[in-house]
Structure 1
Amino acid sequence: MTAEAHLREQVCTLAKSMFDRGLTGGASGNISARLEDGTLLVTPTGSSFGSLDPARLSHFSKDGQLIGGDKPTKEMPLHSAFYETRMHTGAVVHLHSCHSVALSMLPETDPDNVLPPLTPYAIMRLGKVKLLPVFLPGDPAMGDAVRGLAGKRSAVLLANHGPVVAGKDLQAAVYAVEELEETAKLALLTRGLQPRLLTPEQISALVTKYKIEWD
């Protein structure tokens, strides 16, 4: 199996796993992944994570031209912004996951760091997660907002929409976005219960040990 064929299968396998566990439903969510030659494989518009066809994934050239497959997701400006500003990005995953979206709508959510420090793993896999404003789906301004972060964040939460996470490869991006959703769920479950948070000293130790971006 070629590297491209393997990545096509991996996109579909991981997408179905997320769909089957209710992390995104219907025809929502999208994934992009970079091949060794710099081209991108992208989930098509209107497709369900539960029934993707590896052969029909959209295929983009290095300069952003569609060279094969079905019509791509309308969120391409969002994906492109991460590849342009974070040179080591190998994949981007965007979900409409329920708890993350709920957290994005609460007035007390910190727009600079939406996740409270409940577990080490969210900090290790995500760093700080920036809350971005409400945009119409497919609005190129979403990409501009990500570019405005100048590559300092690997994860953002689109208000009233859902999380977007960039990773060094597809598996890392999927694990990270799942961690974001689970931490959002924990935040909602413990809201108003005064949970014990990680201390500033514990956070600092994690940031130092794992070389986490924390600006």
Structure 2
Amino acid sequence: MSAASELITAGRRLVDAGLSPGSSGNLSIREGNRIFITGTGTSLGGLDEADIAVLDLDGTHVSGARSSKEAPLHVGFYRRDETHRAVVHLHSPFAVAASCLEPWAAHSAVPPLTPYFVMRVGQTPLLPYRHPGDPELGRDLAEAPWMLRAALLANHGSIVAGSDMDDAVDRGIELEEACRIALLTAQAPRREIDPAQVVELAARWGSPWQPGLPIH
């Protein structure tokens, strides 16, 4: 399947899941030294090949549509880790709501309430607020001092990376569910997974959850 076809399929899946209202959200895939990213103002549920932009790894436009203004976020994730091959940025309701709250901890805005969040997503820090499209968003992501493959953007939404587009989409859906559960339980005396069990789960599934560990 071509990169454009993967983006089109993923966009429909996210809209069907209720995670991309209106023309919000953007997706990208990295192939070699090129980034294929959804164009500005596009609806993820109605993408076609004409809606895809091609960038180089510095974010410079190469061909196709005018890219999303959020391209710096995607470039930041690809700069951070070359194993990331797909990025999903969403303005999904529960992730946006969680991004408007004070974070649970410095290394993760979302608490470890379910094993699936720890296993499939891992620690998810809250990055500082910047205007949508600000190039500094990409720098914040690339230089964040935690191991991560997902983050919340303050008062904005979520961004996740994966080894391929299906992986990134699944991770975005799981993060939205984790935010929903966190919000549903916020006003109750809740039980988080024991810290030692969190570390063991993360190690078993290869997900990032190592508070205080700097990036090497």
With normalisation by structure 2, the TM-score equals 0.90
Q: Aligned match of 1:23 in 15, 19, 22?
A: 19
User: What is the CA–CA distance in structure 2 between the aligned matches of 1:151 and 1:79, rounded to whole Å?
Assistant: 17
Which piece of structure 1 moves more, 95-104 or 149-158?
149-158
- When residues 204 and 108 of structure 1 are mapped into structure 2, their CA distance, relative to the original with a 3 A threshold, is closer
User: What residue ranges of structure 2 are gaps of 5+ in the alignment?
Assistant: 211-216
The answer for the alignment partner of 1:76 in structure 2 is 71
The answer for the alignment partner of 1:10 in structure 2 is 6
User: What is the CA–CA distance in structure 1 between the aligned matches of 2:199 and 2:48, rounded to whole Å?
Assistant: 44
Identity percentage of aligned residues? 39
With normalisation by structure 1, the TM-score equals 0.91
CA deviation vs aligned residue, 1:8-64 (integer Å, no higher than 9, x gap) = 1121111111112210111110111012x3311100001001110124311123454
Whether contact under 8 Å (2:160, 2:171) holds in the other structure is yes
Q: Aligned match of 2:105 in 102, 110, 121?
A: 110
Whether contact under 8 Å (1:131, 1:158) holds in the other structure is yes
The answer for the alignment partner of 2:213 in structure 1 is none
The answer for the alignment partner of 1:40 in structure 2 is 35
AA aligned to 1:29 is G
Q: Aligned match of 2:192 in 193, 197, 208?
A: 197
Question: How far off its partner does 1:122 sit?
Answer: 0.9
Question: How far off its partner does 1:75 sit?
Answer: 0.9
Is 2:80 the partner of 1:85?
A: yes
Is 2:174 the partner of 1:171?
A: no
Whether contact under 8 Å (1:85, 1:151) holds in the other structure is no
The answer for the alignment partner of 2:181 in structure 1 is 186
User: What is the CA–CA distance in structure 2 between the aligned matches of 1:192 and 1:91, rounded to whole Å?
Assistant: 35
User: What is the CA–CA distance in structure 2 between the aligned matches of 1:76 and 1:113, rounded to whole Å?
Assistant: 24
User: What is the CA–CA distance in structure 2 between the aligned matches of 1:137 and 1:207, rounded to whole Å?
Assistant: 31
User: What residue ranges of structure 1 are gaps of 5+ in the alignment?
Assistant: none
